[in-house]
Every structure is written in structure tokens, then in C-alpha cells.
Structure 1
């Protein structure tokens, strides 16, 4: 690639009636959370927060998947002790979780591993009939990173004696 050419963005931002639709656009890789995807996602959310015309964000994916999770190389490196590689992935969904605007995940296909975290980081999740939520952390020998996000999304155990 010549120095003048910029790689195509992996997250597209479109404003519709005050709502920013952020579309992850790497369908060949099932919208995997690569360092570039995470960077583009963080930049898009930052831009939405700066734009006074934006009052909410919808996050979705292009193609057959919402998000297939983190790149396997990053996860395997993290399992071998390179924790910074995992922090790079976490930066994406933690940025969604800290967004000042309401966020909605429009889950249009599988949300796997870190993709599940990405959906859980949103304030609201809407799932299509093709949506699938799948945690793969234990199979890779990693701590299930979704536990905090899942508790945040669905709440703590309800004591049935206090439900009435």
C-alpha cells in the first residue's frame, strides 16, 4: 500500500434522525475485534460523543456476524502471558460501556467471546433471529471476561423472598 492510501475504515458511522448507526464492516473476518477494528470503533464513539446532533448509538455488524470476538492470535498470546494484547481488545467494549450516550446493540448474527462482551457493553441489546450469543473464553484457557458485563446487563441474583 502506498503511503498516500489510507486503509478503508472498519467502522462506518451514519447519522439518522439523531441516532448514529455504527456498522462494523469486516464481514470476511466476521467483524473480528482486531486492533484496527477496536481503534476505528473507539474513534467512531468519540466522534459521536463530540457531535451534538447525536443522541444515541446503534452498534451492528455487516455480513453474517455481529462480531466473532477477538483475533485468536491476541487471545493465545494473552493466555501465554502477554496481557497487554487482551487489554487492546478490552479497550473496544470498555469504550462502549463508558459511552455517555445510550447504546443499543443490534445483534444481527453470532456474538462470540469478545463479541458477546461488545453486545453486553451496550445499554440495550436487540437480537435478530440469526443472533447467537456464545462465550468461548474457558475453551481458550482464559478467564471468562463477560462475567462483569453480564451481571451489569441482567443484574444480580434476585432473592425470591424479596421479590414480592
Structure 2
């Protein structure tokens, strides 16, 4: 788990995305590390809640778009699994958003039960501006939290 820092204290696990040079972008390696960390957390009976955050300067700046031209449904589904694995946990989750939460990074924040944003936090759907469909349940999660009108205005405009 080289891209995740997992800390435990007083019944709370803190899962920190730790690739600040890449602004904690979602990659296949990071997704694998998230899944492994979540398995460890859920196996630990002393853990009652999870905080998800990112090493500064970003919370998660979205999916790594370097290989977007070769991306297919299977590779995108693997990226989605990074935040959907957290969404499926039975433990309460808190997103401590301390910087940019863009695209898949915003999905990571949306999939948590509670979101707490620092003053420097920025939320950006970004999908349509770069020609992508807002995947991974983005519009569904956003609508359930912010309401249909707000979600559509943020995603479309």
C-alpha cells in the first residue's frame, strides 16, 4: 500500500491518499491500495468509523487521464471501484476534503456519509468540460445530496 497511509486511533481509521506529486489522482495502483486498506479496516473489529482524506495539496484531483485515449469500459470500472469500495462499507465514512476534489475525486467525497471541507477545498465535476460522461454514479450521488436542480446545474454548466 505505497499510495495509502492507513492510521488507526481510538476506533477511527484515517485513510490518506498519499501521492501528492500527482495530486492523489485515481490510478489502478491507488485503487488496489484503497481496496486492500478497506479490507484491513473492515477486518479490524476495533474500528468504528473511517476518515478519508488526501495528502496536500489535493484531496483527489480525479482519475489519471494520461491513458484516457486507451480507456475502455473495463478500465473505467476499475477506477470507479476506488470510491465505490468506500461507498459499500458498512462503517460510517467522513470525507475530510482538504483541497481539490475533481471528477472521480468529487465522487470519492460524494460516496462518503459526511463531507467536511477546509477553506481551500474545491469541488469540481469537470466531466462534461473534458468530454466525459459523469460516470461512477456521480449524478445519482450528487442529486441525493444536493438536490436535482443543484446537481444538474453543477454538472451541465
Question: Which residue number corresponds to residue 3 of structure 1?
Answer: none
Distance 1:135-1:77 versus aligned 2 partners, 3 A rule: farther
- Mapped pair 1:70 → 2:63: yes
Question: Which residue number corresponds to residue 155 of structure 2?
Answer: none
Question: Which residue number corresponds to residue 120 of structure 1?
Answer: 110
- What CA deviation, in whole Å up to 9, does each residue of 1:101-139 have, x standing for no partner? 000000000001100000001000000001000111112
Question: Which residue number corresponds to residue 90 of structure 1?
Answer: 80
- Report the TM-score, using the length of structure 1 for normalisation: 0.84
- Report the TM-score, using the length of structure 2 for normalisation: 0.88
Find the partner of 1:41 among 25, 34, 41.
Answer: 34
Find the partner of 2:3 among 4, 10, 14.
Answer: 10
- What CA deviation, in whole Å up to 9, does each residue of 1:17-57 have, x standing for no partner? 10000011000000010111111011111111110010000
- Secondary structure of the residue aligned to 2:58 is coil
- Unpaired runs of 5+ residues, structure 1, are 1-7, 158-164
The structural deviation recorded for 1:152 is 3.2
- Secondary structure of the residue aligned to 2:59 is coil
- Secondary structure of the residue aligned to 1:95 is helix
Q: CA RMSD in A?
A: 1.4
- Based on CA coordinates, which of the two structures has the bigger radius of gyration? 1
- Unpaired runs of 5+ residues, structure 2, are 150-157
- Mapped pair 1:153 → 2:128: no
Question: Which residue number corresponds to residue 142 of structure 1?
Answer: 132
Contact kept? 1:111, 1:132, Cα under 8 Å: yes
